[in-house]
A and B are shown apart, each in its own frame.
Chain A
Amino acid sequence: MTAGPLPVQTTQQGRPAGTLYRGDTEGMWSWVLHRITGVLIFVFLLVHVLDTAMVRVSPELYNETIGTYKNWIMGLGEAGLVAAVLFHALNGIRVMLVDFWSKGTRYQRPMAWTVVGLWVVLMVPFLIRHLSNIFGG
C-alpha cells in the first residue's frame, strides 16, 4: 500500500460526491449518524411541542393525544427516539472533547467506540423498562 492522498469521488458535474466530510471510518460514521439523529430529533421536537400544547385546550384532548403514543408501534418509535437522543448526546460530548481537549484528536477513534459502548450500556436498562411498559400492559 502506498500512502498518499485518497482519490476524491466526484459527481458527473465534477463536484465532490454527496456527503462532504470524509474522515476515517469511525469519524465519518459518527459524523453521518450525528446529522441523521439530529434531524430526526428536530422533527420529533416540532411534533412534541404541538402535542404537548393540547394541555392548554382541555385535559380530555391532551389525554386523547398522548393516548395515541401508548401503543406498541409508537412505543418502538419512542425507543428509536431515545436511541437517537442518547447517541447524539454521547457523540456530542465526543465532538466537544475533540474540539477542546488537547489530546482529543489523538483519541477520537477510541472515543467513538466508547460512545458505542456507553450507548449500549444505557440502552439496555432503558429498553427493559420501556418495552415492559409497552408490552406489559
Chain B
Amino acid sequence: MAEPQLVLYEEEHGHIQVVIDKLALEASAKAVFLVDKNGQLVAETGELRGIDTTSLASLTAGNIAATGGLAKIIGEEEFPTHFHQGDRDNLHITLIARRIILVIVFENDKSSLGLVRLRVKKASSELAHIFEEMQKKAEAAAASGADSPFAEITDDDIDNLFSD
C-alpha cells in the first residue's frame, strides 16, 4: 500500500496535546489543529466554538495537496509553510515530518506572524519527534503481529452498522 496507516495511541495523543496546548498559549493563538495529510483531524485545542473542524481538516489537506502539486511543477519538493491573511483572523499552516499539518488560527490584535513563526519552529521539532516515535511504534506493532481490535471484527458487526 501507498503509506502506512496512521495509528494514534492515547500516550502519544497526550504528548501531542501538551505540545499544542503550550503552543496555543505561547503564540497567543485562537486555535491550533493538527491534521493528517489525508484530511483527518488528529488533535485540536483553543477556542473551537463555531469552527467546523472536520471541514477545516479536509480543506487544509486539499490546500496542502494542491500547493504541493504546484511546488512539484516548478521543481520544488513542497511548500512547507503557508500563511493566509484575513481582516481579523489569519491562518498559519506548516507541514511537519512530511505527513502532519499544523494549523494555527490567530487574531491580528492578539498575536503576530513573527510570534507565531517563532513558536511554531520549536513546537514543530517536538511534534516531528512524537510522530517519528508513533511511526516506529506502529511499525513495531505491525512487525510483531500484535493484536488489533479490528482483526476480530465479524461480518455481523459490519452488517449491524447498516441494519436500519
Q: Do A and B come from one complex?
A: no
Residues on B lying within 8 angstroms of A by beta carbon are: none
